[in-house]
Structure 1
Amino acid sequence: MDKANPFQATWSWKPFIACHLFALALLLLWLWEPTRAAMDLFDFSLFSLLNEPLATHSAWRLTWATASTRPFDLLVGVILLLLLIRGDWIFKASQARAATFGFLCAAVVLVVVRILYAKIAHKLGWQHASISRLSEGAVHLGGYFPGWQGTVFTIKDASARSFPGDHASVLLIWALFLTLFARTALQWVVIWSLALLFMLPRLVAGAHWGQDDYIGGVQMALLALAWSCFTPFAAKGSAALVRWTQPLFNLLAKIPLLNRLSVIAA
């Protein structure tokens, strides 16, 4: 393995197969009627616990309404990216650029998995409406902030088809990807605390059921991880991107302050 590239350009069959088996097990549990009924009951209880306080706390409503908008998603993306490219945290400074491109490869695989999964889910009738549409007495955040609707601050609190949870899958692939290379318990705690925290807005607002995330989102993230990091794809893809973008990074390295970033300086 190249010291500047954290990936191995080989097939890692055991984790590759394990990811697929775990994803399959989740799907079978979700399709089996007794466990599906238990999941539905759990999700309604979870939604009630998270959503009901919005009815009586205006500051709480504003907080979660803001967290359920696209600009907040963009802010989350920036936070996750900064943690990814930060040198000598999860990855060595010399590996930051290759690691970032490796994650980009995983994200591309996730997009493909998401498209295929959505088509299969629609074809087989696995789709369902958001829990906020099916739960009596649900607090709809959009109703409290009508002026936000139709703007860049449109609140994501309902959907006709909420399964699988694509928002959660992005957070989960980020968390799983970094977990592969994390070395301390503190790193794991930070990674998963952030992933779970940023998954909450859609659950509080009711745009997604819990199972959209812990079944659909986890499945998609596992498959994307398997086909990117446990195959030669991430290693070869990141190495190629590092080569192709070297002239660009040579220019960026001449810019003061910017050249202090590990992903640039590497």
Structure 2
Amino acid sequence: MDKDVRIQAAWRWPALIGLNLLALAVLASWQLPATRALWEAANLWLFQTLNSSLNQHPLWDWLWALTSIRLCDILVAALMLTLLIHPRWVFREQELRPAFLHFLALLVVLLIVRVLFTKLAIALGWQHASASVQVPGAIRLSESFPGLERVFELKDRSSRSFPGDHASVLMLWCLFMALFTRGWKLLFSIALVLFFMLPRLVTGAHWLVDVAVGGLFIALFSFAWAYCTPLASWIAAGLERLCQPLLPLLQRLPLVGRLGVLRNR
């Protein structure tokens, strides 16, 4: 790889060990009796605090209803992708494609980890219904906005809410971007992730532990084994080889061909 390109997964033993220990510590804090009660109390307090703010003002309800639909998830993904491949945001021109392909590799690893971790959670009885299903009197925005629910699938309930896969993707993106951003851009990335994790908590689609334990565990574990080992670079190299035959065609398309991520380095 070009020595001027900073994006390269490799063996990083201190980070690999540290991230795995942190992920296990987060999971253990939810399972150990000494701290389990604290998580349960925080679960209920946060849900009641956030959910009770609904049905107070129409604009407030619209905000969380619109940010809870699947279309918003697609728009958020597009925003994160734009920031990732924008040549004047974080990465230099020659880094755009490696950054994009490495992040795709991270997502591949996250998908595998999520599937395996979800199966483990089911087998060990960690799975549970969302807050809006379990707490009596919970306010469901799907009932207040039946049109949005019918057309766009408003996410405010689930029979299996652990772990929070939506949050894990957001946190994985933030971990990756945090390696290369500083100052206000880093703060913006963190604020963006925190804001777009809120809708699931406000509507009760997830408990706090679904996000702060399940989602964080998946993000940390995936990032550790993908980027703190050569794995992501191996996957990215394979994706690069697969994409090479398509590049000449894509480069000739109007607008699309101007994207820095498609230009030959």
Q: Answer whether TM exceeds 0.5 for this pair.
A: yes
The reply on whether 1:174 has 2:173 as its aligned counterpart is yes
Take 2:263 and 2:18, find their aligned partners in 1: how far apart are those partners? 36
User: Mapping of 1:142-153 within 5 angstroms?
Assistant: 142-149=142-149, 151-153=150-152
Aligned to 1:38: 38
Shift of 1:90: 1.8
Aligned to 2:86: 86
User: Mapping of 1:48-197 within 5 angstroms?
Assistant: 48-149=48-149, 151-182=150-181, 184-197=182-195
Aligned to 1:219: 217
RMSD between superposed Cα atoms in Å: 1.7
Take 2:242 and 2:137, find their aligned partners in 1: how far apart are those partners? 55
Aligned to 2:28: 28
Take 1:229 and 1:143, find their aligned partners in 2: how far apart are those partners? 42
Shift of 1:33: 2.0
SS class of match (1:55): coil
TM-score normalised by length of structure 2:
0.93
Take 2:231 and 2:4, find their aligned partners in 1: how far apart are those partners? 16
User: Structure 1: which amino acid aligns with 2:179?
Assistant: L
Contact 1:157 1:202 in 2 (8 A): yes
Take 2:13 and 2:172, find their aligned partners in 1: how far apart are those partners? 19
User: Structure 1: which amino acid aligns with 2:221?
Assistant: L
Contact 1:173 1:221 in 2 (8 A): yes
CA-to-partner distance for each residue in 1:9-51, whole Å, 9 max, x for gaps? 5321111111110011111111012312112212222112211
Take 1:37 and 1:49, find their aligned partners in 2: how far apart are those partners? 18
Take 1:100 and 1:8, find their aligned partners in 2: how far apart are those partners? 12
Shift of 1:203: 0.5
Take 2:157 and 2:33, find their aligned partners in 1: how far apart are those partners? 25
Take 1:169 and 1:196, find their aligned partners in 2: how far apart are those partners? 12
Contact 1:159 1:207 in 2 (8 A): yes
Take 1:13 and 1:237, find their aligned partners in 2: how far apart are those partners? 20
User: Mapping of 1:222-241 within 5 angstroms?
Assistant: 222-241=220-239
Take 2:231 and 2:151, find their aligned partners in 1: how far apart are those partners? 36
Question: Aligned pair count?
Answer: 264
CA-to-partner distance for each residue in 1:188-217, whole Å, 9 max, x for gaps? 101111111111110110000111111111
Take 1:57 and 1:176, find their aligned partners in 2: how far apart are those partners? 35
Take 2:194 and 2:57, find their aligned partners in 1: how far apart are those partners? 23
Distance 1:28 1:9, change over 3 A: closer
Contact 2:170 2:193 in 1 (8 A): yes
Q: Percent identity?
A: 45
Contact 2:7 2:95 in 1 (8 A): no
Take 2:146 and 2:239, find their aligned partners in 1: how far apart are those partners? 44
Segments of 5+ residues of structure 1 without an aligned counterpart are none
Shift of 1:61: 1.4
Aligned to 1:262: 260
CA-to-partner distance for each residue in 1:72-108, whole Å, 9 max, x for gaps? 1111111111111112422111110111010001000
Segments of 5+ residues of structure 2 without an aligned counterpart are none
Distance 1:237 1:98, change over 3 A: same
Shift of 1:177: 1.0
Shift of 1:170: 0.6
Take 2:3 and 2:96, find their aligned partners in 1: how far apart are those partners? 11
SS class of match (1:136): coil
